[in-house]
Amino acid sequence: MCGSPIFDYEHIDGYGKTGHDADQMTLLCPMHHREKTAERLPVSRVRKANKSPYNKTRDLGSKHPLYFDGSSLTVELGSLKVVWSADAPEASAIEVDGEPIIKVAFVDGAISLNLLIRDADNKPLLVVRDGELRHAVATWDVAFEGRTLIVRRALGDVVLRIRLMPPNRIVIERAEIWCRGVLIRLGKACDQGDGIEVANNRTTYRDETVYGNRLLLAVGDYLGFEGQIFTTFIPQRWLGGIPAKPGSFSRIGGGQRMSNKSGGYLDDCRALTSNSFLAPAVWGLPDKRGRREES
């Protein structure tokens, strides 16, 4: 009735009348389930909603709040652990072309989580924005089991398995995250190890505990130093699981612009990337006359 990702199975006319007949069952969020049980929600309204589901005409389901608060947050990415505190009001675990994939913000004692899970075609599967979760209704299955959220593309094909453990801990056990032709695997989804793996260049990071950095891993068109610990370039991006043409994403998807304006530093960057597989990554680098180079 409301598109909530949290729901109960409900017998429309009551178990005593129909038994476990799948055609006589529906899904209700806990609030609407209580309303129906208390007979404040008419069965006729439930039947109407069951014939025309709320999410059928929408791309994303309803918002569901997540409850994190305190002065610190621990995020476990498989065997790699990140610990942030309110001393750094905003921080990201991973950014692709400057776009945060996993980001947190400390606001008035609350912890706001942002998370974006996309498929190989760059379409959202799951979105958490400012601490509110929404799922793509076209996703094969999204299920909460206690505090564990599981997203499946098909039977047995788990894209995301994450434990949300309020008030201040998140454990990502498994994830496959696409962003602009970059595939990042986390935890048990990795081919090598169980931390973070950038599949495009098979770079891995694992078995570490990091405290307080604004950014853990910067991926893609990112040549500046913005407080990240790890940076990795992408020699080949993929579109729909196959190699994409050079420049497919950096020109249309934005990229990390240079923030370090030191002339010597920019010259070093040009020398590093010139005539190498990194050359397409300097598309946002200003030339010596102050204009942007488009590789």
Residue of 34, 32, 28 lying closest to 10 (CA atoms): 28
Total number of domains in the chain: 2
Q: Tokens representing 269?
A: 């960057």
Assigned domain for 216 exists:
yes
The answer on 33 and 71 residing in a single domain is no
Q: What is the pLDDT of residue 32?
A: 86
Q: Cα dihedral sign for 88, 90, 93, 95? A: negative
Assigned domain for 226 exists:
no
- Please identify, among 175, 190, 220, the residue that sits at the C-terminal boundary of a domain: 220
Q: How many CB atoms lie under 10 A from the CB of residue 23? A: 8
Assigned domain for 288 exists:
no
Higher pLDDT: 153 or 257? It is 153
Assigned domain for 124 exists:
yes
The answer on 169 and 202 residing in a single domain is yes
Model pLDDT for residues 157-170, shown as the tens digit of each residue: 999 999 999 999 99
Model pLDDT for residues 227-256, shown as the tens digit of each residue: 678 888 787 888 777 777 766 665 433 333
Residue of 50, 64, 49, 47 lying closest to 4 (CA atoms): 64
The answer on 145 and 100 residing in a single domain is yes
Cα dihedral value 206, 209, 211, 214, nearest 10:
10
Assigned domain for 243 exists:
no
The answer on 153 and 70 residing in a single domain is yes
The answer on 169 and 31 residing in a single domain is no
Model pLDDT for residues 6-29, shown as the tens digit of each residue: 778 888 888 778 787 888 888 888
Identify the bridge partners of residue 152 per DSSP, sorted by sequence position. 141, 158
- Please identify, among 220, 253, 268, the residue that sits at the C-terminal boundary of a domain: 220
Q: Give counts: helices (H), strands (E), the chain.
A: 4, 22
Model pLDDT for residues 105-140, shown as the tens digit of each residue: 999 999 999 999 988 888 888 999 999 999 888 888
The answer on 104 and 39 residing in a single domain is no
Q: What is the pLDDT of residue 173?
A: 97
Domain that holds residue 52: 8-57
* Reported pTM: 0.75
Assigned domain for 135 exists:
yes
Residue of 229, 249, 227, 252 lying closest to 240 (CA atoms): 249
Strand duo 238-239 + 182-187: pairing: unpaired
The answer on 93 and 49 residing in a single domain is no
- Please identify, among 186, 220, 254, the residue that sits at the C-terminal boundary of a domain: 220
The answer on 133 and 23 residing in a single domain is no
Assigned domain for 145 exists:
yes
The answer on 79 and 16 residing in a single domain is no
The answer on 83 and 51 residing in a single domain is no
Q: Which of 9-13, 174-178, 199-203, 209-213 has maximum average pLDDT?
A: 174-178
The answer on 29 and 149 residing in a single domain is no
**Structural contact between residues 220 and 256, judged by C-beta atoms closer than 8 angstroms:** yes
The answer on 158 and 29 residing in a single domain is no
**Structural contact between residues 126 and 136, judged by C-beta atoms closer than 8 angstroms:** yes
Three-state DSSP class for residue 208: coil
